[in-house]
Structure 1
Amino acid sequence: GKYDMNKYKKIVSIAATAVMCVAPMSVYAQEAQTDVIEAVAEKKQDTESSSVPVLQKEGIEISEGTGYDLSKEPGAATVKALEQGTIVISYKTTSENAIQSLLSVGNGTKGNQDRHFHLYITNAGGVGMELRNTDGEFKYTLDCPAAVRGSYKGERVSNTVALKADKENKQYKLFANGELIATLDQEAF
């Protein structure tokens, strides 16, 4: 179904739910050779259609092999404490790399090097997410091929992807350009 991201933006669920992180945590908007990435995290208010950004950063330009650290941005501490919500990222890629991470969250403490979350795209138009715990048993992946495109008629195009983590319904939903493209039901949310 169609997902009106402007009407129903909710909370970003990066920390406790997504990667079961404990502090310190690094939050990166990262993608090789990207012109612009807009990362928006929003927090639910009183009504379903009313929301205020928890963390929002626009106009990020990233070159190959670099990242952008969001962990010191206003709202990052709030994001780390959330248990559910939606991550929305608008981007335009100039890369042909096979896998391009739009957002990465990891746990840098000793013994937790395998705890991470990635929201990514592929050069073939795929969109996906990976959520992994240190033990290797808690590992969720969700993806959909050919969901976005890097160019149209020779011009690079903008895309918007969203990942909704719904703790109550124990679901992860992946959206590309307003369309629901994949759903993952998980009892161990």
Structure 2
Amino acid sequence: MLVAFCGQLLADDPRKLVVFPVDRSIVDVDNQFSQNNPFYKQRAGAFYEIKYVGPSAESLFRIAAVRPEQMPGTLDALRAFVYDWLDAYVRGNGAIDPADRNTCIARMDKRFDSLFDSGLQRKLYRVWRDDESNKLRFLMASQQGIQRTASEPSRSAVPAAEPVSSGESSPPAR
């Protein structure tokens, strides 16, 4: 018997109870970034949940053969990663230190290692992490993994959002 209640997965087997708390609280830090961007973590987090978590989860469901009873835990783990990353970004004054990014990724890895019960699923999760279908990949990328153009400004090693095109189109090829 499987019952979903209040965003938590309850199963007959207590070992399958998986709940990843999502910290949407205000970052308690007083730096220039948080002064200039009040409630950034909450605003950006809500946007990332809508724009990136769903599509990333769908691709992970497909690549790692996520079973229906694992889906709520998968969504919770991705949301928790987003808010961990945003917390580190705000604490870093609008930049994320590579060590903080790696800590966020390690926490996410641990969440998925406890959620997925097969070695194959864990391996496929790690394949998905670097796959183009992972819309959260830009939060996980190292500085070397990010392609920037000279015209793109950068305040941090990892961008807070994907680059937005200028809307200009190139002339047709002849």
Would you say same fold, with TM above 0.5? no
The TM tier, using the shorter chain, reads under 0.3
More strand per residue: 1
TM-score (normalizing by structure 2) = 0.28
TM-score (normalizing by structure 1) = 0.26
Higher-Rg structure is 2
